[in-house]
Amino acid sequence: MTAVQPKSDQATITVHNPADGRVAGTVPIEGAEAVAAKARELRLFQPEWEEIGPRGRKVWMNKWQDWILDNSEHLVEVLMSETGKSRSDASLEPVALADSIKYWAGNAEEFLSDRHPKPHSLLFKVKKLTTVYRPYPLVGIIEPWNFPLAMLALDVVPALAAGAAVLLKPSEVTPLSAVEFVRGWNEVGAPPILGLATGYGDTGAAVIENADYVHFTGSTATGRKVAVACAQQLKPFSLELGGKDPAIVLADADIERAANGIAWGGMFNSGQVCISVERVYVEAPVYDEFVAKLTDNVRSIRQGQESTGLKYDTGAMATPAQRDIVDRHVREAVADGARVLAGGKPTGVGTFFQPTVLADVTPTMSCIAEETFGPTLPVVKVADENEAVRLANDSVYGLSASVWTGDIERGERLARRLECGAVNINDALTNVFCPPLPMGGWKESGIGYRSGGANGLIKFCRQQAITAPKLPTQKSELMWYSSSRRQGKLALAAMRAMAGRGVRRVGLRPKN
């Protein structure tokens, strides 16, 4: 078991390392009253955090970034202890977090600067138009278990850079990394505007209840519940949910690169990545060659969890339940006629599941239709690119995809036909490492976006419109009640002249 389910009198969650079952640590289960108290305290300090502006916030965020890099080895150890990751997989997260802080803190001043839109009409040239970005006072963020630090880089960091206070609810499966994340903030002496609430679903519900804006990352089923709760409270929210990302391998692709990239894109973090490659469509002329190279790559993956060094490529599944989903998908595929070319079974140690390649897969199999979130790569043979695009789009999910081809322009054309939020050409997972790009899902993969440059900060802000006169003001405006009827007619005629085209500008009817 990764996390012990709470008993009626239980006050803590005990976290176990899924790779070997050892106890990794404990965190309290915080109820609604405790969460509400934390929210009230965060709100007390948020105005000052907003008031110091992007430059002031950057000072503290840079100190926090230094702490993360200085303590990266410790953070990696904590990550490994609660997730079962290999050291190789876990080592990327503190670096990604530091990179995120550098980006958002470094660009916040530009992204949040007042905007002065151009007046749409000559009548409004006398007005100064301004759009101001004011952060939501308290942002509630609920995160999953697959990337306990890297997920926070995508959501918590930009919310703080925007000037909001943040109340973070990590997954009950992997809360220990979030504890260290907040500890680092506090140790550098930063203002107390980052809070932590640990627990199960009731704790998450309390975070939603007390926040002004909510971001949730997790399953589609839970995302629906979050959306309903936010809608009932008229709270803005964003969701990143499930994925079933396709890879399309065209006959003109560099097959060796495609096999290397798809093996990594499907097996990184044991496939527990929202944008991991979960289904592969290969044009018939290169199907056999691709499958052979992919199988060789996957068979060579080193799986395990080391105490030191970088011995293993990937680690365990985060929970027994997730391992069992992977096992079911493989068994059902084999029962329906698929062939296992690599892996195919749990190892029998902890929650490890062998890196797996499935051939002769059909689109109706559960390993294609359902989100697996594990180390499997089912491969489907297709006649041409049109069939590949049709099958890739035949999903309730639409998070991201990849296209592998020797013709970049062709790849870009196919990308525009795919129904998903991101497409990587001749690469995998790249978009998540590019904060200037929006990251979001279509269809049942989510609502709203992460990152996306300035929009990644503006999403955590309320937009305020301000108008001000450019010229000395008069006692009355032409349309006000204190003006004469003649002045009102003049104002209406001027508005019509600006709104119309041709003879309609002067109130004449066009000739038939």
* Residues 39-70 pLDDT 10s: 999 999 999 999 999 999 999 999 999 999 99
Residue 509, pLDDT > 80, answer no
pLDDT, tens digit, for every residue of 425-459?
A: 999 999 999 999 999 999 999 999 999 999 999 99
Q: Which of 87-101, 175-189, 294-308, 477-491 has the lowest mean pLDDT?
A: 477-491
Report the mean per-residue pLDDT for the chain: 95
Residue 1, pLDDT > 80, answer no
d(CA 268, CA 260): 12
On whether the CB atoms of residues 242 and 274 are closer than 8 A, the answer is yes
Q: At 427, list the tokens.
A: 């690469």
Banded pLDDT at 7 (limits 50, 70, 90)? very low
Q: At 308, list the tokens.
A: 């030191």
pLDDT, tens digit, for every residue of 292-345?
A: 999 999 999 999 999 899 999 999 999 999 999 999 999 999 999 999 999 999
d(CA 190, CA 187): 8
Q: At 450, list the tokens.
A: 């992460």
Provide the whole-model pTM. 0.95
Strand 194-196 versus strand 165-169 pairing type = parallel
pLDDT, tens digit, for every residue of 208-242?
A: 999 999 999 999 999 999 999 999 999 999 999 99
On whether the CB atoms of residues 437 and 451 are closer than 8 A, the answer is yes
pLDDT at 502: 85
Residue 8, pLDDT > 70, answer no
Strand 12-16 versus strand 23-28 pairing type = antiparallel
| Catalytic one of 240, 278, 370, 385 | 240
d(CA 316, CA 18): 7
Full DSSP string of 395-419: SSEESEEEEE-S-HHHHHHHHTTS-
Largest CA distance in the chain: 89
Instruction: Read off the DSSP letter of residue 359.
Output: E
Q: Where are the beta strands (DSSP E) in 90-224?
A: 127-135, 138-142, 165-169, 194-196, 213-217
Specify whether domain 245-434 bears CATH 3.40.309.10.
yes
DSSP H/E element including 238: strand 237-240
Phi-psi region of 451 (alpha: psi -120 to 50; beta: other; left: phi over 0): left
d(CA 213, CA 506): 48
d(CA 109, CA 78): 33
Give the residue, 495 or 406, on which the prediction is more confident: 406
On whether the CB atoms of residues 68 and 95 are closer than 8 A, the answer is no
Banded pLDDT at 512 (limits 50, 70, 90)? low
Q: At 400, list the tokens.
A: 């991201």
How do the domains of the chain map onto residue ranges?
25-241+453-463, 245-434, 477-511
pLDDT, tens digit, for every residue of 170-201?
A: 999 999 999 999 999 999 999 999 999 999 99
Residue 3, pLDDT > 60, answer no
Q: Is 240 a catalytic residue?
A: yes
Decide: residue 117, CB within 10 A, 0-12 exposed, 13-18 middle, 19+ buried. exposed
Mean pLDDT across 16-32: 97
Q: What is the CA radius of gyration of the chain?
A: 27
Q: List the alpha helices (DSSP H) in 233-384.
A: 255-267, 284-299, 320-335, 366-369
Classify 224 as helix, strand or coil. helix
Classify 25 as helix, strand or coil. strand
pLDDT at 21: 96
Strand 461-469 versus strand 127-135 pairing type = antiparallel
> Would you identify the CATH topology of the domain 25-241+453-463?
Aldehyde Dehydrogenase; Chain A, domain 1 (3.40.605)
Instruction: Read off the DSSP letter of residue 146.
Output: S
Q: Pick the closest to residue 236 from 226, 244, 248 (CA basis).
A: 226
Residue 9, pLDDT > 60, answer no
Q: Pick the closest to residue 179 from 193, 166, 191, 168 (CA basis).
A: 168
pLDDT, tens digit, for every residue of 103-161?
A: 999 999 999 999 999 999 998 999 999 999 999 999 999 999 999 999 999 999 999 99
Beta bridge partners of 248: 281, 403
d(CA 64, CA 58): 10
List of residues 6+ apart from 293 with CB closer than 8 A: 255, 256, 259
